[in-house]
């Protein structure tokens, strides 16, 4: 005659295994590929660097050193963008990314927009080195607008 | 215009809302609508200007709530939970002119949410670091982004309370046959046999002082 505990043991074992499997499955499904995390961090840093530039032009006396280092960061991030969107890193159920499938379905369009931004970032960095504050102010606005070149079409609308 | 108590039969007209209070109310309506539209259509310069104007009106309204006409003063209509309970249970709801204890809660909620929205907007940064509030250079990108998220959530809360406010006004209008919109436009309300006690109307120069205060506060932020 089995005790109460012995009768329950198989059920408990089955439940434990089920939970363990579920846990592993969920963990596996929710962990996004590294490249998504990398590009999210990289683009956040880009935004933060761009904020530095915009903030400098808010006040009366923009600091050229701050702008120059921010411009270098923007240029570096821009150069990395081509590596950030490998095939298969797009939106799938369970993965959180603002990247739209058009990045891959319209690869030439994405490449053109991306390259335009890289060009602007390069121009901006050169201008920052020159220290021409008057031109820099205007160029920073153009640079900001070129972000839209990709974002308007290839990124899910953000708040 | 007679401001004395009226114990006669027949209705009496009482001055409920002064010009400053009415102007503040309708300016808030217009500016909230314009802020909403400008943000939704990405006219961020206009959105910032609208926010500045809202800040000015809110500074004035908060000041007026301290020194303004009787029905505008917070001390007069903000009551504790017991007064609210008594108001809800009273058989005759004819109270003095101005916000009843329950309506007072909605005033606090709306003014509070509006103020927090404006303050959050001052430090908000958009996702690209491109558009940002006028004081956002004093906080980090992360903080500015957190303010942006709170600014968005705050707007949803504000909309909910505005909806509640409009629903309450409609309820009064349709069910209780009490038009509250006209007094907020004209300033006058007709009362039944139950005479309403007169209240003080603050002088115009006090309002002018408040307007100057608004200009100073907003001017210190706008560069």
Give the mean pLDDT of B180-197.
Answer: 80
Contacts of A144 in chain B (CB under 8 A): 128, 130
B interface test, pick of A46, A48, A51 with most B CB neighbours within 10 Å? A51
Chosen from A44, A54, A120, A146 to mutate, greatest number of chain B CBs within 10 A: A54
Is B136–A55 a contact, with Cβ atoms under 8 angstroms apart?
yes
b/e for B172-208, b at 16 or more Cβ within 10 A? eeeeeeeebeebbeebebebeeebbebbebbeeeebe
Q: In terms of Cα–Cα distance, which of B116, B148, B110, B119 is closest to B132?
A: B148
Contact list, B140 vs chain A (CB under 8 Å): 48
A159 or B161: whose pLDDT is higher?
B161
List the single range of A30-34, A149-153, B201-205, B212-216 with lowest mean pLDDT.
A30-34
Q: Is B58 a residue whose pLDDT tops 60?
A: yes
Least confident of A1-15, A96-110, A128-142, B110-124: A1-15
Comparing A93-107, B3-17, B34-48, B156-170, the range with the smallest average pLDDT is B3-17
Label residues A47-83 b or e (16+ Cβ within 10 Å = b). Answer: bbbbbbbbbbbeeeebebeebbebbbbbbebbeebee
User: Residue B10: its pLDDT value, please?
Assistant: 61
Please report the pLDDT score of residue B193 as a whole number.
Answer: 57
pLDDT at residue number A59: 78
Structure confidence at residue A133 (pLDDT) = 87
Q: Looking at the predicted structure, is the pLDDT value of residue B94 above 90? A: no
Length of chain B: 223
- Say yes or no for a CB contact (<8 Å) between A147 and B128: yes
Q: Of A18-32, A51-65, B43-57, B191-205, where does the model show the most confidence? A: B43-57
Q: State the alpha helices, DSSP H only, in A64-106.
A: 64-80, 102-105
Does B129 contact A47 at a Cβ distance shorter than 8 Å?
yes
**In this predicted structure, what is the pLDDT of residue B165?**
95
Q: Hey, is the C-beta of B97 within 8 angstroms of any chain A C-beta?
A: no
Q: Which token pair is B15?
A: 């001055």
**Lowest-confidence segment of A73-77, A89-93, B180-184 by average pLDDT:** A89-93
The residue-averaged pLDDT of B182-191 equals 89
Give the nearest chain B residue to A152 (CA atoms).
B128
pLDDT the model gives residue B1: 47
Out of A48-62, B129-143, B186-200, pick the least confident: B186-200
- The verdict on a CB contact (< 8 Å) between A48 and B137 is no
The kind and range of the H/E element at A4 are helix A4-30
CB-CB under 8 Å, A50 with B136: no
Contacts of B44 in chain A (CB under 8 A): none
Judged by average pLDDT, the poorest of A27-41, A132-146, B102-116 is: A27-41
Collect all residues of chain B within an 8 Å Cβ-Cβ radius of residue A46. Answer: 129
Residue B195 has pLDDT above 60, yes or no: no
Position B92 scores a pLDDT of: 62
Across residues A70-85, what is the average pLDDT?
Answer: 95
Strand partners, B14: B189
Contacts of A150 (CB under 8 A, 6+ apart): A110, A113, A114, A117
More confident residue, A2 or A31: A2
Q: Using the beta-carbon criterion (under 8 Å), do A58 and B152 form an inter-chain contact?
A: no
The rounded percent of chain B whose pLDDT value lies above 70 is: 89
**What mean pLDDT value characterizes chain B?**
88
Give me the interface pTM, i.e. the ipTM: 0.77
Q: What is the pLDDT of residues A106-134, one digit of tens each?
A: 999 999 999 999 999 999 999 999 988 88
Considering CB atoms only, which of B130, B149, B223 is closest to A50?
B130
Separation CA B127–CA B85 (nearest Å): 46
Q: Cβ contacts of residue A19 below 8 Å, gap of 6+?
A: none
Chain A residues with CB under 8 Å of B129 CB are 46-52, 54
Q: Can you give the pLDDT at residue A48? A: 96
Yes or no: say if B47 and B35 are a contact pair by the CB < 8 Å rule. yes
Residue B28 has pLDDT above 60, yes or no: yes
DSSP state letters, B31-48: HHHHHHHHHHTT-HHHHH
| A89-110 exposure pattern, b = at least 16 Cβ within 10 A, e = fewer | bbeeeeeebbbbeebbeeeeeb
User: Average pLDDT of B59-73?
Assistant: 90
Q: What is the pLDDT of residue A31?
A: 53
Mean pLDDT of B161-179: 93
Question: Could you write out the DSSP letters of every residue in chain B?
Answer: ---S---SSS-EEEE-S-HHHHHHHHHHHHHHHHHHHHHHTT-HHHHHHHHHHHHHHHHHHHHHHHHS-GGG-HHHH---HHHHHHHHH-S-----SS--HHHHHHHHHHHHHHHHHHHHHHH-B-TTSSSB-TTGGGS-HHHHHHHHHHHHHHHHHHHHHHHHHHHHHHHHHHTS----HHHHHHSEEEE-SSPPPP-----HHHHHHHHHHHHHHHHHH--
């Amino acid at each position: 005659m089995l005790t109460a505990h012995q009768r329950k043991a198989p059920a408990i074992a089955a439940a434990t295994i089920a939970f363990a499997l579920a846990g592993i499955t969920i963990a596996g499904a929710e962990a996004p590929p590294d490249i998504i995390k990398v590009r999210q961090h990289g683009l956040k840093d880009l935004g933060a660097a761009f904020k530095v530039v915009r903030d400098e032009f808010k006040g009366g006396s923009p600091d050229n050193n701050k702008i120059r280092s921010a411009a270098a960061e923007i240029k570096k991030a821009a150069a990395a963008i081509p590596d950030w969107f490998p095939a298969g890193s797009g939106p799938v159920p369970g993965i959180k990314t603002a990247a739209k499938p058009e990045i891959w379905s319209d690869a030439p369009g994405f490449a053109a927009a991306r390259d335009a931004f890289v060009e602007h970032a390069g121009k901006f960095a050169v201008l920052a080195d020159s220290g021409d504050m008057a031109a820099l102010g205007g160029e920073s606005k153009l640079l900001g607008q070129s972000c839209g070149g990709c974002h308007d079409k290839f990124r899910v609308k953000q708040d | 215009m007679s401001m004395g108590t009226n114990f006669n039969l027949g209705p009496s007209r009482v001055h409920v809302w002064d010009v400053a209070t009415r102007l503040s109310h309708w300016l808030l309506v217009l500016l909230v609508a314009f802020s909403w539209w400008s943000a939704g259509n990405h006219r961020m310069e206009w959105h910032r200007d609208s926010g500045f104007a809202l800040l000015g009106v809110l500074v004035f309204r908060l000041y007026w709530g301290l020194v303004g006409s009787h029905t505008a003063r917070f001390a007069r209509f903000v009551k504790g939970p017991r007064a609210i309970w008594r108001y809800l249970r009273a058989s005759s709801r004819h109270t003095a002119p101005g916000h009843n204890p329950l309506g007072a809660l909605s005033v606090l909620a709306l003014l509070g949410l509006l103020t927090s929205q404006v303050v959050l907007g001052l430090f908000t940064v958009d996702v690209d670091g491109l558009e940002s509030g006028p004081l956002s250079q004093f906080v980090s990108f992360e903080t500015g982004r957190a303010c942006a998220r709170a600014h968005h959530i705050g707007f949803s809360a504000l909309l909910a309370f505005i909806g509640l406010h409009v629903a309450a006004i409609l309820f009064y209008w349709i069910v209780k046959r009490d038009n509250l919109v006209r007094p907020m436009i004209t300033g006058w309300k007709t009362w039944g046999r139950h005479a309403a006690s007169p209240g003080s109307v603050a002088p115009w120069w006090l309002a002018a002082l408040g307007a100057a205060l608004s200009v100073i506060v907003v001017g210190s932020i706008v560069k």
